[in-house]
Amino acid sequence: MLRLLKLLTGGASFFLLVAATTAQGFDVEGSTRAYLSSTSADAIANTDGYVNTGYVVMLLDTVAAVLIAWLFLSRGWSRRWRELAEAKLKSPFARAFIYIPIYALVSSVLLFPLTWFSDFYTEHKYGLATQSFSAWFGDFLIEGGVTTLLFALFVGLLYLVIRRTQDNWWAWGSGLSVGFMLFALFISPVFIDPLFNEYRPMDEGPLKERILSIARANGMEVDDVKQVDASRQTNRVSANVSGLFGTARIALNDNLLNRADVDSVEAVMAHEIGHYVLNHPIKMMLALLPILLALFLLSHVIFRALLRRKGEDWGVRGIDDYAGFPLLVAILTVVGSLATPVFYRVVYVQEYEADLFAINATQNPDAWAEVALLTAEYRKLEPSEFEENWFNHHPSPYMRIYMAMRWKAEHLPGEAPDEVE
């Protein structure tokens, strides 16, 4: 609980740090402003529009989940899908592989306009996407197929847990959710990611060796860096260290190589290596567990209350009945939406730690500041304190640049601020 309390209150401490404007004569705030001034007003307005549209989409997703549940339950569709699964298969676990594909297919068709708006139209409108509609739709179908298969497996296991533990399912279900997330992290680099992009060894050269050197210096056993052709889908710069237990892979996208100088690329890769070295995937799951416990318990209470009132009308026999799955999804979506700032705070703290790791590993704060400006294409350059604390899952470009300049002030106390053209 102490760790979770720190996560929830961490945002306030970040802004207390910003209160200091100078260190050893170095103007931290002035140097930060010099970097920020290189972004045009039009670019800022474009990013603000993109982020604000994302907020609207989040709300629409929640409303859509409730409407989908009402439709499936009130029309008796969910009950009929349950009956079909029971007629075809004796195993309650295996019935998930009939019920869930039907549920996923119908939901995807009904929600396709919203999916198109958020994932295709909006990304193109704000200049972030590069795919044609046909290419995007092809990836959409592949992702849908993979997601449905994994989702059916998870739901089958979840309902097995519900049948075995009954009113205590929320506790066991939370643990199952965390375990399944770890499973997805384990298989993703090997079996899922290559379905959408080509991963090939990064070209040999000094930059690759610099990246591997940072990894080795920090105890990460890896001998290669992968390059991914993300430019076929997006203009964003990104990189990641993914996988667990022997499937770890360092990867960077071609946009990063094409749009950033070698020092900035090194800084980004140090950030991603930091996530791995600091054991963030495992820590993330441990931090999420108490949050999931609370969400599942609340969802259980709400589900029971609604079941008593409408269960007979909907044809839902109990919480262990697949026919009630749309209701469970709707409740978890609404409750989860309310808890989104808490989830984001967990991610934010780890991103902040990885940022500091990168600056310390590379000893190059200006390279990190340059990278932060590239992320201003899809993150508000300088959001309000409220947005920074509760709606950002990554530090804003302002916060990241300020962090870098503060580090520089402490390590180069006699050096004047760099001029930023």
Greatest alpha-carbon pair distance for the chain in Å reads 78
The one catalytic residue in 193, 266, 321, 355 is 355
82 in helix, strand or coil? helix
Q: Name the residue among 395, 356, 419, 337 with its Cα closest to residue 14.
A: 395
To the query of whether residue 29 is one of the catalytic residues in this protein, the response is no
List, in sequence order, every residue forming a beta bridge with 225; answer none if it has no partner: 250
Separation between Cα atoms, residue 371 and residue 367, nearest integer Å: 6
Confirm or deny that 271 is annotated as ligand binding. yes
Q: Which residues contact 121 (CB under 8 A, 6 or more apart)?
A: none
Structure tokens at 365: 């704060």
To the query of whether residue 355 is one of the catalytic residues in this protein, the response is yes
Separation between Cα atoms, residue 258 and residue 266, nearest integer Å: 13
Separation between Cα atoms, residue 374 and residue 141, nearest integer Å: 30
Separation between Cα atoms, residue 391 and residue 403, nearest integer Å: 19
Kindly tell me the sign of the dihedral angle through the C-alpha atoms of 333, 338, 344, 345: negative
Separation between Cα atoms, residue 248 and residue 257, nearest integer Å: 21
Let me know: does 242 contact 193? Beta carbons within 8 Å.
yes
395 in helix, strand or coil? coil
List, in sequence order, every residue forming a beta bridge with 240; answer none if it has no partner: 251
CA distances 209 to 97, 100, 266, Å, are 46, 46, 10
22 in helix, strand or coil? strand
Reported residue count of the chain is 421
Q: Crossing angle of helices 280-314/325-338, nearest 10°?
A: 130
Q: Name the residue among 374, 413, 405 with its Cα closest to residue 17.
A: 405
Confirm or deny that 280 is annotated as ligand binding. no
Q: Which residues contact 174 (CB under 8 A, 6 or more apart)?
A: 289, 292, 293, 295, 296
Q: Give the helix/strand (H/E) hosting 103.
A: helix 96-116
Annotated binding site: 271, 275, 351
Q: Which residues are catalytic, by number?
A: 272, 355
Binding residues for Zn(2+): 271, 275, 351
